[in-house]
Structure formats: structure tokens, C-alpha cells
Amino acid sequence: MKMKNMRLFVLSFSTAALLCSAFIQAVETSEVQANTPAAFEQTKPLRIAVVNFKTVVEKSKIGQKEQAAFDAMKKQMETVLEEKEKALTEMASKFSDLDYLDSLSPDTEAELKRQFRTSSQEFTQQQNQFYQNLSQTNMLVIQKLTDAVTKACEEVAKLYKIDVVLTDESTFYAISSIDISPFVIDVLNKTFEKESKNTKPLDGKS
């Protein structure tokens, strides 16, 4: 009798354990399903457009302004380097003039050569700094324009219910009818004019 009761107890315990395990598994499955995003489904045709970044930059007011500022800085740096290079060329020509060298004392000639070496080193350093500054400025300008174009593309996309906007550089082929560059330029120009009106001159004059 006791053995029979023991078997019933073991059987009941095993059944309860199986039921408990099944319940835990069901709960875990439910949690996983709840935390899993629904499968991606494309329910409608995509509306795709392209933008010519180079055209947008060249024809928009903000692009023209940034390009003009960059060119002005580049020209200023080039002018400084050209003056330095001219001075070095004139100094170097003196070393090929034997009559001029004969008219100098040894100390004066040594001092002239020292000045030439120093000026040459300064010119090389300035030249390297010049290219470094140009590169950094160019990167900043491109980033600024990229941000502005991206924002303008978003505005145009929302207005015309466009799903995807690509740069034409990333596409092998696209028909001209999906090029929204003129619309992006228009948005950029309006934003530029609005910001220009809201920007007060440093002298406080309107």
C-alpha cells in the first residue's frame, strides 16, 4: 500500500514538474514574441528621387557664399606665400652673383646664408600649414553644406511624399524627371535669405 502511494506521489510530482516547465516555456516564448519587431513588409511602391550635390552647391546662395569665403582665404594665403617665395628667389640669386659675393666680408656672407636657411625653413613650414588649413577648412565647408543639403532634401521629400533621396553620385543611372536638385536649391535659398535677414550686422546697423 505504501509503495502504491509512493508511486502515485512520484507520478504527481513529475506531472506537476512537466506542467510547470511547459508554463515557463510558454511565458518565455510569449516574451520573446512580444519583444520581436514585426516582419518588414513593403506594401507600396517606393518614390525615389536623386540630387546632384555639385549642382546644388554651385547654384545655391549658401554654396556660393561658402565657396567665395574659401577662395578668399586661399587667395590670401597664396599671396603671403608668393611674397615669401619672391624674397627667397631674390636672396638665392645673390649667391650666384660672384661680384656681389666678392664685395661681402666673410661674416656678412655667412650671415646672409644663415638668413636664407632660416627663411627657407619658415617658408616650408608656412607652406605645410597653408595646405593643412585649406584641407581642414574644406572639410568643414563640405560638412556644413552636406548638413544643409540633407535638411533641404528632407523638407522637399516631406512636401512631395518622397520615400528615398539619393545623391546622383551613388547611382549608375537615373532619369532626369526624378532629379529634385532645383527644388532643393530653392529651399536652400529661402533658408539662406531668412537667416540673412535675422542676422544683425556687427555695427548694429540694419
Q: Looking at domain 44-197, which of 3.30.565.10, 1.10.238.10, 3.40.50.150, 3.30.910.20 is its CATH number?
A: 3.30.910.20
Q: pTM (2 decimals)?
A: 0.69
Mean pLDDT by 10 residues, the chain (206 residues): 45 49 55 59 86 96 95 92 88 79 82 86 90 94 96 97 93 94 97 84 51
Q: How high is the pLDDT of residue 109?
A: 79
Q: What are the residue ranges spanned by the domains of the chain?
A: 44-197
Rounded (5°) CA angle 179-180-182: 115
Residue type, 160: Y
**Sign of dihedral through CA atoms 61, 67, 70, 74?**
negative
pLDDT at 103: 83
At 202 the three-state DSSP class reads coil
For residue range 181-192, list pLDDT tens digits in order. Answer: 999 999 999 999
The pLDDT value given to residue 115: 86
Buried b (16+ CB within 10 A) or exposed e, 5-35: eeeeeeeeeeeeeeeeeeeeeeeeeeeeeee
In this structure, which amino acid lies at residue 85?
A: E
Q: Is 67 exposed, middle or buried (0-12, 13-18, 19+ CB in 10 A)?
A: middle
Write down the pLDDT at residue 140.
95
The predicted structure's pLDDT at residue 2: 45
**3 state DSSP class of 199:** coil
Amino acid 8: pLDDT: 42
Whether the CA torsion 183, 188, 191, 194 is positive or negative: it is negative
Determine the pLDDT at residue 198: 77
Interatomic CA distance for residues 203 and 140, integer angstroms: 27
Question: What is the reported pLDDT for 95?
Answer: 75
Could you tell me where the DSSP H helices lie in the chain? 2-35, 53-59, 61-95, 98-102, 106-159, 181-198
The pLDDT of residue 90: 85
